[in-house]
């Protein structure tokens, strides 16, 4: 008997899923007498380019969740409230559910997983993070018997493309963003990507799975990339590194820290080599040590492939009624103060002249006993920058406050290093 599939949301990713299931069906790992067959589509907006021959099409997506012709519902329409209603309805009607919706899982994933377990159904979301990179499977299966201590990654292709373009071509942030929008890497409203919200959603999902807690989106400290200038990109290169928008989750003895922020990485770091719209993930665990995962983090077919991986997992269950969802822990993570003494810092000062910026910055660092280990200037921009040795946060903030107070017209930029 075939496993009947309904797809809700037939935009970029939904069309990719439909293509792979109808045109490339032979590539899916099929069980005998239990191959997937698309029976229904939920399309709130007509899409003439979508071939609906032989399919039931509903303008009301809830009808897909309620249809007796569906065993597995695939949600690719995005948003939170409508998607939550759709998925809760589908689980209540005895459907397995696969979703690529990171915002939904980050904010309601624990409750939805609990409902799936109670219903004896699967809720799977490999495609919510990393596109074609199976990072959720790594955490829930490969490293399930290990203790993960940290995750760091480049989790948003739009932000990474912008920073890569700025580094490659010396362009401004605005110009690189415009190019990303022309190439369809960035939305017309790119705020979720460039302000770090998208990465924060993904990070809190990974952290919850790695640390055995409930997702806690409200505990992610988030900083975007709008303030990164061509001067910062140039000075970072002169200092032997590059600026990346990094998402990181760290386990501490008294809790966890979750951060999304620009960081200056040394060029030798594996994540420094993740460019354009690609994603990269570095996982540190007690037994496996450092492991690294890289690949296409977005796009119709890479994301659709992860959805099909979840569908294969459901096919491999012993019967359509078996539950095999990805579960979170019950407790919220305890927020911890990061060990900021382990951080070096990039500090850039732009003043009336390069000499003024250099002299003033060096004097203030000396006053606060902050040791620079690398220095670079951009004379055309009247800018100077240093990378410091590891420095306590309180000491650093006092120094930055003194710079701002004594040079109120200067431009000051601070980015963590390493």
- Domain-ending residue, one of 262, 296, 330: 296
Tell me, yes or no, whether 331 lies in a domain: no
pLDDT at residue number 33: 57
**Does residue 221 lie within any of the structural domains?**
yes
In a domain, residue 321? The reply is no
Q: Quick check: is 194 in a domain?
A: yes
Q: Give yes or no: residues 157 and 291 share one domain.
A: yes
Q: Is the pLDDT of residue 219 over 60?
A: yes
Looking at the structure of the chain, the number of domains it has is: 3
Q: Are residues 168 and 258 in the same domain?
A: yes
- Local confidence band at 342 (pLDDT 50, 70, 90 cut-offs): low
Mean pLDDT (whole number) for 231-237: 97
Residues 278 and 150 in one domain: yes
Q: Of 315, 350, 375, which residue is a domain's last?
A: 315
Kindly state whether residues 269 and 189 are assigned to the same domain. yes
Mean pLDDT of 56-83: 97
**Are 310 and 379 in a shared domain?**
no
Q: What per-residue confidence (pLDDT) applies to 334?
A: 73
- Catalytic status, residue 202: yes
Q: What percent of the chain has pLDDT over 90?
A: 84
Q: Is the pLDDT of residue 341 over 80?
A: no
- Domain membership of residue 85 (yes or no) is yes
Same domain, 352 and 307: no
On whether both 166 and 46 belong to a single domain, the answer is: no
Mean pLDDT, residues 102-112: 96
Does residue 110 sit in the same domain as residue 184? Answer: no
Residue 49 has a pLDDT of: 94
Mean pLDDT across the chain: 92
Q: Confidence band (pLDDT; 50, 70, 90) for 320?
A: very low
150 with 197, same domain: the answer is yes
Q: How confident is the model at residue 316 (pLDDT cuts 50, 70, 90)?
A: confident
The larger pLDDT score, comparing residue 227 to residue 334, is at 227
- Which CATH number belongs to the domain containing residue 367 in this structure? 3.30.70.100
Q: Tell me: do 271 and 344 sit in the same domain.
A: no
| pLDDT of 91 above 50 | yes
Mean pLDDT of 297-310: 93
Are 241 and 166 found together in one domain? yes
* b/e 272-294 (16+ beta carbons within 10 angstroms → b): bebbbbbbbbbbbbeeeeeeebb
> Which domain, by its residues, includes 116?
3-131+300-315
User: Quick one: pLDDT band at residue 160, thresholds 50, 70, 90?
Assistant: very high
Q: Which of 95, 102, 137, 202 is catalytic?
A: 202
CATH number at residue 127: 3.40.50.720
Q: Answer whether residue 151 is part of any domain.
A: yes
pLDDT value of residue 322: 47
Residue 270 is part of a domain; what is its CATH number? 3.30.360.10
Residue 114's contacts (CB-CB under 8 Å, 6 or more residues apart) are none
Pick from 244, 269, 296: which residue ends a domain?
296
Q: Per the domain annotation, does 322 fall within a domain?
A: no
Task: Tell whether 125 is covered by a domain.
Answer: yes
Question: What is the per-residue pLDDT across 351-405, written as a single tens digit (0 to 9) for each?
Answer: 999 999 999 999 999 999 999 999 999 988 999 999 999 999 899 999 999 999 9
225 pLDDT band, cuts 50/70/90, is: very high
How confident is residue 330, by pLDDT bands cut at 50, 70 and 90? confident
- Considering the domain architecture, whether residues 197 and 222 belong to the same structural domain is answered as yes
């Amino acid at each position: 008997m075939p496993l009947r599939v309904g797809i809700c949301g037939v935009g970029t990713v939904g069309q990719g899923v439909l293509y792979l299931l109808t045109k490339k069906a032979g590539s899916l790992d099929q069980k005998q007498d239990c191959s997937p067959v698309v029976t229904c589509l939920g399309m709130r907006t007509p899409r003439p380019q979508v071939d609906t021959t032989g399919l039931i099409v509903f303008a009301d997506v809830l009808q897909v969740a309620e249809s007796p012709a569906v065993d597995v519902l695939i949600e690719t329409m995005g948003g939170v409230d409508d998607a939550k209603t759709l998925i809760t309805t589908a689980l209540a009607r005895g459907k397995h559910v696969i979703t690529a919706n990171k915002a939904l899982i980050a904010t309601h994933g624990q409750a939805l997983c609990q409902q799936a377990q109670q219903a004896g159904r699967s809720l799977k979301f490999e495609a919510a993070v990393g596109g074609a990179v199976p990072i959720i499977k790594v955490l829930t299966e490969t490293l399930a018997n290990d203790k993960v201590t940290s995750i760091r990654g480049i989790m948003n292709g739009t932000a990474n493309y912008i920073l890569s373009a700025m580094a490659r071509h010396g362009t401004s942030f605005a110009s690189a963003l415009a190019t990303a929008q022309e190439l369809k890497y960035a939305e017309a409203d790119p705020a979720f990507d460039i302000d770090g919200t998208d990465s924060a959603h993904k990070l809190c999902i990974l952290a919850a799975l790695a640390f055995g807690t409930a997702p806690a989106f409200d505990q992610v400290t988030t900083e975007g990339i709008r303030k990164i200038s061509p001067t910062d990109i140039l000075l970072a290169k002169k200092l032997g590194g590059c600026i990346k928008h990094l998402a990181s989750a760290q386990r501490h003895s008294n809790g966890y820290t979750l951060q999304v922020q620009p960081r200056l990485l040394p060029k030798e770091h594996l994540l420094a080599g993740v460019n354009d719209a690609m994603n990269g993930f570095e996982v540190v665990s007690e037994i496996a040590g450092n492991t690294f995962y890289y690949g296409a983090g977005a796009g119709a077919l890479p994301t659709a492939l992860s959805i099909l991986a979840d569908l294969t997992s459901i096919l491999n269950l012993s019967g359509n009624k078996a539950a095999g969802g990805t579960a979170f822990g019950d407790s919220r993570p305890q927020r911890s103060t990061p060990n900021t003494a382990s951080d070096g810092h990039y500090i850039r000062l732009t003043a009336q002249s390069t000499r003024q910026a250099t002299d003033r910055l060096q004097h203030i660092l000396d006053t606060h006993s902050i040791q620079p280990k690398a220095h670079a200037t951009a004379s055309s921009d009247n800018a100077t920058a240093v990378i410091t040795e590891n420095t306590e946060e309180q000491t650093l903030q006092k120094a930055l406050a003194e710079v701002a107070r004594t040079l109120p017209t200067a431009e000051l930029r601070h980015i963590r290093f390493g």
